[in-house]
Structure 1
Amino acid sequence: MKHPGPILFVLLIIWGCKEEYPSAEKKTRPNILFIAIDDLRNELGAYGSVARTPNMDSLASRGSLFTHHYVQVPTCGASRHSLLTGYRPSKPIHLSNRAIEVEISGKAEDSVPETFIHRFKRAGYHTVGIGKISHSADGYVYGYEEPVSEKRELPHSWSELLFDAGKWETGWNAFFAYANGENRQSLEKQVRPYESGEVEDEGYPDGLTANLALSKLKELQENEQPFFMGVGFFKPHLPFNAPKKYWDLYERDSVPISDNPRIPENINLASLQESGEFNQYALGEERAGLDTSVSNAYARKLRHAYLASVSYIDAQIGKLLQELKRLELTENTIVVIWGDHGWHLGDQRVWGKHTLFENALKSTLIIKTPNAMNANESDVSNHDHKVEAVVESVDLYPTLLELADIPLNHKIDGESLVPLLTSNGSRNQGKAYGYFNQGITLRTPDYRLTKYFREEEPHIELYDHTADIPENKNIASEHPEIVARLMPLLEQERWRR
């Protein structure tokens, strides 16, 4: 007779992957609408920007607006890997856009869920992914100019994975879409980094994504299971393309340019980057670089394009929020709006992300819980609730599980933000870590300390955030006592795993 051990082990694994909650209990659990937006820095009206974003502003006024939310890595795929797993980077692949493909795709299901979405699915949720939630534009693994594959980036997380590529035919074509049906690849990068299209919302892919999500919401309303629906919008990622009506919301002359357009003092240029992604758009009127700034007129045009793209996405989100209300789902749906990182709009002479500066790491985060879940509603009301504490993307994993009353059965790096949803959250609270460009950065309420592991000096940068001061001067050499006080916190994270 064969030893039963291996069989028993397999049965235990299978049992562990099964649904954990009875159907009667599922109905009381909140739905989750998780909206991921590419390259969305704190460029909303709610943050004090000139951006016309009435729908996200309204949601922020009824929920919690996080004013100091930081991603782990200032590039799309790696940032999303940390978000989805709850882990800060611990090896080089975690800093790459291929992090999810290498670390998750193609792996067998394990007792530890591959993502927090997988955890929701195991807890009885019907999980639907539409658009860019992981790194790929549509959730499948294939190259920019390759046919769509059947290999999912997240093989175990989604009950359904949907996308409407429209006339662009593939997810990656849609990601770099122009209104005429062409894309950056098909036009061999002979394109501008912006476009004002004489089209309706559906004339660009994000309008199709919104429509697909609206249709799916109607279906999910009838489902006995609670749902987790992830909707990933492309804009304002390059190219800054949006229907003309969103450009028309702004007067070009009134669009502000960067208040911090110069290279910071006392740094090495290796801490910045040459705007390579932006310069791929070969028909741009001016080329960006660290050796010279683009003209104020061109900077204003590009910022106008970015704002138009943000307003376009705000309108798509407004459709989803209105449909939640029409379907009477608002009172039992948690809504999260998350930007996967920030973007330098000419700040420190950079057009792009890929740095360890505030502009690249700080992004939008709004969490709106159902009214029934707001503690002390009569006192707090969750209206105009700004959370000033420093928080990280990895914190969303335990936060969403706690809001849904789903246990977290393994150790991650994030900490739940639930206590901050019903309190003002002290400005003197929290810390956040960022990783990129051969460096680690620590953001506290008062300072940013960055250490680079490279030949170019200086290796240490310190920026003052005790007042509303942009990161325009490295003060590490002037304040060694502050560096000495903060460095153990930074080194602790470096050697943690």
Structure 2
Amino acid sequence: MKRRLSRYFTFVLCCLQMISFAQSNAMPNILFIAVDDLRAEVISPDNEVIQIPNIRKLAEESVLFNNHFVQVPTCGASRYSMLTGMLPKKKKHLKNYIIEKDIADGNEKREKPETFIEHLKRNNYYTVGIGKISHSADGFVYGYEDEVTDKRELPNSWDEVLFDSGKWETGWNAFFAYADGSNRQSRKKQVKPYEEGDVSDYGYPDGLTIDLAISKLKELKGSKQPFFMGVGLFKPHLPFNAPKKYWDLYERNEIPLAKNVEQPKNSSRGGANNSGEFNQYLLGEEKANAKNPVSNDYAKKLKHAYYASVSYIDAQIGKILEELEALELDENTVVIVWGDHGWNLGEQSIWGKHNLFESALKSALIIKVPGAKNMGVNYDGLVSSVDLYPTICKVAGLEIPYELDGKSLTPIFTKKVKKHHDKVYSFFGNGASVRTERFRLTHYKIKGEDFYDLYDLKKDPNEIENVADVHPKVVEKLSKDLNIKRIQN
């Protein structure tokens, strides 16, 4: 009886702490930083090579989620799930164009908010979007090589949509930018997938984005209205371009290669991937394909480029966090750093994200809630991108407007929570995947046939061998979950 009462009072105390935070801070500001292609491994405390002092400092003051998984390993679809708090239900939800087709093209005022950002806006938040928060590089709908339009991708979510395209002139040109002002499109893909630019931080677009965000923070400082600021950073998305000083942080020979460069043993081949996005960069020294890994020398060069891009982003994040503190906004601003998916750096012979392996599905997530008790924690439980919508509602003190597929992470901010989800789900192409604490089961439908890949992550964290034949009962049990969650046409 005493033990049950103790647990009850502990639970009540944790709830009161969160309520106290929301009330004493009257609705906190929220700084949401979305980083393209930021895999979880590079910000892990176990990675001793990566140079990211600002992200490390933030993580020490926050909850660092070691097992955060996205719903779809491609930009637009992943962001759609995160923004709506919903798992994909149909094939169209797996496509990069889903935000444009489902939200921008249906821009009448909805009863339900189009995203959690609109829900904040409906509840007195001033919302500012800078850079890539939805799929569009600058928040407007137009093709890679077209003129910029005034059609917003999220028409009801933002009070302001801002972007500085600099010498690149459009958001999409800036997204694929090279230091001389050209871009992948203008050079007809006759480019390398990396560049060591002899330029300052402003020689690539993310430096301009952070400068714009800092200027806006200064404007918002005097407002009595709480703000949500979304800042979308492009790197380390391809091309892996960064100023030379960030390349110089690394000795290339010290950068480790992937431990699992071959396709998995006994694999159904459903996960085979020829790295189509990566191979668009036609001047790359080697082409990646599912059958043959690239050479070790080229793999190290590419990984060096990716790491340099991450260090460049770390410096930009450091600038805005420093300004947040200088403006004395840090004590009432929730900070979230979110990677929209991971990226295979040679694992399974893949250079890219369009697959259902751990490297593509596990991405970075850090959340700092000032005043919450349980900060400075590395959390190992399974969490999912759809959890962000209810989490943001809770820290803002708002009701969740409709039933979501995610579950609020706020209990983790105030007490020790061993398990958040038993299972998390991800989807891509003709595949569906379920992740438990120990296993990942992925089902592929190939020419009408069913194939199952099972990885025992406790024994084989690098997904080197498919053990579906060794654990038929596990396959049977988890496949029932996948059938329930199956994507419809």
Aligned to 2:117: 117
Aligned to 1:302: 302
8 Å CA contact 1:343–1:353 kept in 2: the answer is yes
Equivalent AA in structure 2 for residue 461 of structure 1: D
Change (3 A) 1:428 1:84: closer
Aligned residues: 465
In 1, the alpha carbon distance for the partners of 2:75 and 2:482 equals 23
Task: Give how far 1:290 is off.
Answer: 1.4
Counterpart check, 1:364 vs 2:356: no
In 1, the alpha carbon distance for the partners of 2:430 and 2:43 equals 34
In 1, the alpha carbon distance for the partners of 2:303 and 2:276 equals 18
Deviations 1:235-270 (A, max 9, x none): 000000000000000001101110111100112333
Aligned to 1:8: none
Aligned to 2:417: 425
Deviations 1:194-213 (A, max 9, x none): 00000000000000000000
- Segments of 5+ residues of structure 2 without an aligned counterpart are 1-22
Deviations 1:441-465 (A, max 9, x none): 0001110011122227661111111
Aligned to 1:33: 31
The match for 2:385 among 387, 390, 393 is 393
Local SS of the residue matching 2:249 = coil
Equivalent AA in structure 2 for residue 85 of structure 1: T
**Equivalent residue runs for 1:469-480 within 5 Å:** 469-480=461-472
Aligned to 1:47: 45
Change (3 A) 1:259 1:427: farther
8 Å CA contact 1:44–1:52 kept in 2: the answer is no
**Normalising by the residue count of structure 2, what TM-score does the alignment of the two structures yield?**
0.92
Aligned to 1:236: 236
In 1, the alpha carbon distance for the partners of 2:443 and 2:260 equals 22
8 Å CA contact 1:45–1:52 kept in 2: the answer is no
In 2, the alpha carbon distance for the partners of 1:178 and 1:392 equals 33
Equivalent AA in structure 1 for residue 322 of structure 2: Q
In 2, the alpha carbon distance for the partners of 1:46 and 1:201 equals 25
8 Å CA contact 1:428–1:445 kept in 2: the answer is no
In 2, the alpha carbon distance for the partners of 1:153 and 1:93 equals 16
Aligned to 2:250: 250
In 1, the alpha carbon distance for the partners of 2:171 and 2:62 equals 32
8 Å CA contact 2:30–2:333 kept in 1: the answer is yes
Aligned to 1:83: 82
**Equivalent residue runs for 1:149-160 within 5 Å:** 149-160=149-160
Task: Give how far 1:97 is off.
Answer: 0.3
8 Å CA contact 2:270–2:451 kept in 1: the answer is no
Local SS of the residue matching 1:325 = helix
8 Å CA contact 1:427–1:445 kept in 2: the answer is no
In 1, the alpha carbon distance for the partners of 2:420 and 2:464 equals 22
In 2, the alpha carbon distance for the partners of 1:219 and 1:176 equals 30
Aligned to 2:284: 284
Aligned to 1:131: 131
Task: Give how far 1:26 is off.
Answer: 11
Counterpart check, 1:73 vs 2:77: no
Deviations 1:427-449 (A, max 9, x none): 68532100112011000111001
Aligned to 1:190: 190
In 2, the alpha carbon distance for the partners of 1:280 and 1:137 equals 19
Change (3 A) 1:468 1:330: farther
Equivalent AA in structure 1 for residue 60 of structure 2: S
- Segments of 5+ residues of structure 1 without an aligned counterpart are 1-24
8 Å CA contact 2:91–2:488 kept in 1: the answer is no
In 2, the alpha carbon distance for the partners of 1:190 and 1:447 equals 41
Local SS of the residue matching 2:427 = strand
Identity %: 56
Local SS of the residue matching 2:209 = helix
8 Å CA contact 1:26–1:225 kept in 2: the answer is no
In 1, the alpha carbon distance for the partners of 2:278 and 2:167 equals 25
Aligned to 1:102: 101
Aligned to 1:490: 482
In 1, the alpha carbon distance for the partners of 2:388 and 2:100 equals 21
Local SS of the residue matching 1:127 = strand
Task: Give how far 1:467 is off.
Answer: 4.0
In 2, the alpha carbon distance for the partners of 1:178 and 1:398 equals 38
In 2, the alpha carbon distance for the partners of 1:41 and 1:291 equals 23
Alignment RMSD (CA, Å): 1.6
Aligned to 2:173: 173
Task: Give how far 1:293 is off.
Answer: 1.1
In 1, the alpha carbon distance for the partners of 2:407 and 2:488 equals 16
**Normalising by the residue count of structure 1, what TM-score does the alignment of the two structures yield?**
0.91
Local SS of the residue matching 1:453 = strand
Deviations 1:83-141 (A, max 9, x none): 00011111111000000000000320111000000000000000000000000000100
8 Å CA contact 2:434–2:482 kept in 1: the answer is yes
8 Å CA contact 2:90–2:488 kept in 1: the answer is no
Aligned to 1:260: 260
Equivalent AA in structure 1 for residue 114 of structure 2: E
In 1, the alpha carbon distance for the partners of 2:77 and 2:101 equals 11
Equivalent AA in structure 2 for residue 95 of structure 1: L
8 Å CA contact 2:390–2:400 kept in 1: the answer is yes
In 2, the alpha carbon distance for the partners of 1:468 and 1:327 equals 47
Change (3 A) 1:180 1:440: same
8 Å CA contact 2:91–2:487 kept in 1: the answer is no
